[in-house]
A and B are shown apart, each in its own frame.
Chain A
Amino acid sequence: MKRSNRTPVQARVNRHFSWSQFLASFVVMSVLAALPGLLYSNNWRRVWSPFLPWYILYWVIAAAAFSAFTAWQKYRTFDTPLRALSAAAEKVAGGDFSVYLQPVHPPQQYDYLDAMFANFNIMVAELSSTETLRDDFVANVSHEFKRPLANIQGYAQALQQPGLDTATQQQYTAAINRAVSNLAALVTNILKLNKLQTQVTPPERRPVDLPGQLTRTLLDYDEVLDSKQLALTVTLPDKLTVISDPALLMILWHNIIGNAVKFTPVAGHITVAAQESAGIVGVTITDDGPGMDETTKAHMFDKFFQGDTSHSPDGNGLGLAMVAQISQLMGVPVKVTSVLGRGTTVTVTLQTAQA
């Protein structure tokens, strides 16, 4: 849980009463009180009277009372809440994100301390959620790696037994090969996604041949389209130039069209269309595949989420996470509508060169 080797720091000294404050109040109070008398009598020698010690004693007590009162005030309004904040901060520094600071006043009457408490609570909640995300990510990554590794290990061991017939041997090696391709794709995708997430340079904005990209992507899936006997309806203008980042946009098409190709059953139907109106281009990719239920829809952009586990060997649940990341990076809206058992439509909205 704890990621750094820094240790939380604790307060070492308790300070409420201070001698300097007491002395300063005594001097200021006694001199100020005596000032009118001195000025009026116009003779400072008269200060040396037998009443002087009583006068001093009086102001010592008054100054002490005043100092005690301010110390108590400080303790009540300043020290106690700061002490609570310090204790809470110490817990967070130690990796405990369960702390909650109760503001003293109701929200309508928040003073700056209450506001600080409230903001501290928000800050801790944010920290805790990124920490959980990170933990989940690491857990997911290691799980996704272990799955194919376990297969490789198992089949490799099985291959070592003597007297296996050729058919079985080939079956085992084929399983190892599949697991390896899976691992390779996983590594590539994690790297790609990581690159997208840490990208600092803004995406390019230059003219992109949209029908060219969509056609190229579809042709890249030529073999699967054939082997699954998928019908394809493509409605694209001959020429349509949009302003975007060509490399990122290409990844977007590969993931969206790749999903359509993957999830549409044999002899299914995929439609790809682009329509331009007033500088806005809508690209829709529709399939008559299985569609998605509400849970799947809610989580489809999450990393490593796979709605349909029957397809999990062919993917790693990073495709749509990449789509979401690219959509956010380029400011390109990606809308997904899906009806369970009927199919899914993905709409990507782009801008033309003229706009």
Chain B
Amino acid sequence: MVKILVVEDDTQFNDIVQTILRQAGYMVTGATEPAQAYVFIQAEHFDLILSDIMMPKVDGYQFAQQIRRTDPDIPILFITARDDIASKERGFNSGIDDYMVKPINFDELQLRIKALLRRAKITEDNVLTVGNLTLNSEAVTATLAGQDVRVTLREFQILYKLLAYPNHAFSRAELMDEFWDLASNTSMRAVDVYITKLRDKFQAADGFTIKTVHGLGYKAVIKQ
């Protein structure tokens, strides 16, 4: 069972977050301040931490930095009322993985927790599994229904990116910036060529499809 630690000094909000996450099937522990949170962390292993920023004594930034020193991989999600870019930047610089601004939508919170846990698991195992497809990022291999599929490095990277952020639409330019040389003068249509190849090679995949988004970009849609 996945264990989540909620650090939040507003007890009413802390309670409702715990209640909702328990209903969603997580094991939840609540702490009202970082000092208490450290005690819990030393006693048991958590899979994810939700933290506020503005707390008395130790603030969220210091808390996140402290956690990062001992555990570089545990996903940390900030939930805070601060929505300025500077606070976000400071948060991400302190080593957090995601940031939500209060008031939050709890359905979205659950989606983000799922995505964070998924990515954490992918980083841990170097393996991403969607339906009958398995991608191994260390060996750069794709296995579809038990059969190895030959892919180039760039094909693998694009597919991996799309599947690591399912349902998020990436524009051609964003994919290009990430996986092509800046100096290359390749046309944006090169991305389309790669997507066509990927669709062709992974026709038999039962866990996802690559969807064209209004001719602007692509996203991987997970089939239920």
Contacts and interface: CB of A to CB of B under 8 A. Distances in A.
Contact of A215 (B85, B101, B105, B171): B171
Nearest to B177: A212
A225 interface: yes
A148 to B, nearest CB: 12
B171 A212 contact: yes
A141 interface: no
A212 B214 contact: no
B166 interface: no
Interface stretch (A5-13, A180-188, A301-309): A180-188
A55 B101 CA distance: 94
B188 interface: yes
A238 B188 contact: yes
Interface residues of B, number: 19
A339 interface: no
A209 B173 contact: yes
Given A181-B105, A211-B173, A215-B173, A234 B214 contact: yes
A234 B219 CA distance: 18
A209 B172 CA distance: 13
Contacts of A188: 83, 101
Nearest to A192: B83
A218 B214 contact: yes
Interface residues of A, number: 20
A216 B171 contact: yes
B217 A215 contact: yes
A215 B188 CA distance: 13
Contacts of A183: 103
B216 A218 contact: yes
A180 B103 CA distance: 8
Interface in A200-226: 209, 211-212, 215-216, 218-219, 222, 225
A183 B103 CA distance: 9
A222 B221 CA distance: 13
B213 A219 contact: yes
B192 to A, nearest CB: 12
A232 interface: yes
Nearest to A219: B169
Interface in B170-223: 170-174, 187-188, 213-217, 219
A23 interface: no
Interface of B: 83, 85, 101, 103, 105, 169-174, 187-188, 213-217, 219
Interface of A: 177, 180-181, 183-184, 188, 191, 209, 211-212, 215-216, 218-219, 222, 225, 232, 234, 238, 247
5 smallest beta-carbon distances between A and B, as pairs: A219-B169, A215-B171, A232-B214, A184-B103, A222-B169
